[in-house]
Amino acid sequence: MRPAFATLGVPGMPVGDVVRLAVACGYQGVELRAHPEEPVHPLLGVRERAAVRGQFADAGVEVLTVAGYAKVAAECSDAAAEAELAHELAELVLLAADVGARYVRVFPGGGGRPAERAEADAVRRLAAVAPLAGERGVRVLLETHDSHRTGVAAARILEAVDDPHVGAVWDVLHSWLGGEAPAVTRAALGRHLGYVQVKDVASAADLTPLRLGAGVLPLPEVVAALGPGAGGWLCWEYEKRWYPRAAELPGLLAAGRAYLARLLDGAGGVDGRDGHGSRGGAAGGG
C-alpha cells in the first residue's frame, strides 16, 4: 500500500506548491480536488493541463485521482439536466486523462430517493461513461458516501455495472458512520476497490479532522482488512476546507506518513518501493 494526502487539506494551493510539499514529505502521488475554486478543474485549457501533468511528472509524483463532484444516483429533473450530468462525467474523465490521473472520483448523491430508482440511475450513468474511461485509460470510482456510504450499498451498484473501468473509493469515515466493520467493507467491495481514503475524527458527533491516529476511526483494522502485501494507495483526506479551525495539514504530513508506514509494516504491507513498504500521494476530495 502507498500513503497519500488531500489537496482538500490545503485548499487553493498552487500546483507547484502541492508538488513541492508532496516531495518534501515523502509522498509519491496526489489526488486533486477538481473544483472551480481549485487550480485544476474541468474548465482548464489544454496547455494548462499539459503544464500540470509536466510539473508532477518532472517531480516523480503521480496524479492519483481527479476528485469530481458528479452525483451519479441523483435525480435529474429533465432531459437537459440528465445531459448536463453526462457531460460532467465525460469532462472529468477527459481531465483525468489529460493530467495523467488513473482515477476519477464521483459521489452517489441519491439523497432520500427510493434506493431502487437511485441505483438504477447510477448503474445506467456509470455504464454509459465506462467506454470513454476505457478509451482514455481512466477508472471511474464511486465513493462510499452519503446515500451509499457502506461497501455493501456501493457494491450493489458496482456489481450491476460490472465493468473494469468502474470501481470504488472506500472512504473509511463513511463506512464507519454506516456501522460497517472494515472487514465487511473490504469483502463487499472486492474486485471493485480502487483505493482507500483514510482520515481520523474525535467522534461521530464531531467530524473535525484530526491527525491520523488521534481519533476513533479503526485505521489498524482497515489496513488489516486489506491484507498483507496489499497493493494500491492509502489516501489521507483531511477536510480542512470544511473545518477552518482544524490544524493546518502541511505541518501534519510527515507524521501522518510515518503513522501509516507503521500500520503497513505491522500488517506486512511492504511492497518493496521503500523502507516502509509504501508510496505516497496527495488527495483532493471531500
Q: What is the residue-wise DSSP string for 133-176?
A: HHHHT-EEEEESBTTB-SHHHHHHHHHHH--TTEEEEEEHHHHH
Domain limits for position 130: 9-266
Q: Is 67 part of any domain? A: yes
Domain count, the chain: 1
CATH label of the domain that carries residue 149? 3.20.20.150
pLDDT digits 0-9 by tens, 225-252: 998 767 799 999 999 999 999 999 999 9
> Are 25 and 279 contacting, i.e. CB atoms less than 8 angstroms apart?
no
Task: Report the C-alpha gap between 62 and 101 in whole angstroms.
Answer: 7
- pTM, full prediction: 0.93
Q: Is 276 part of any domain? A: no
CA angle 282, 138, 240 (to 5 degrees): 25
* pLDDT of 256: 94
pLDDT digits 0-9 by tens, 108-152: 999 999 999 999 999 999 999 999 999 999 999 999 999 999 999
- Tallying the residues shown for the chain, one arrives at 286
Q: Is 3 part of any domain? A: no
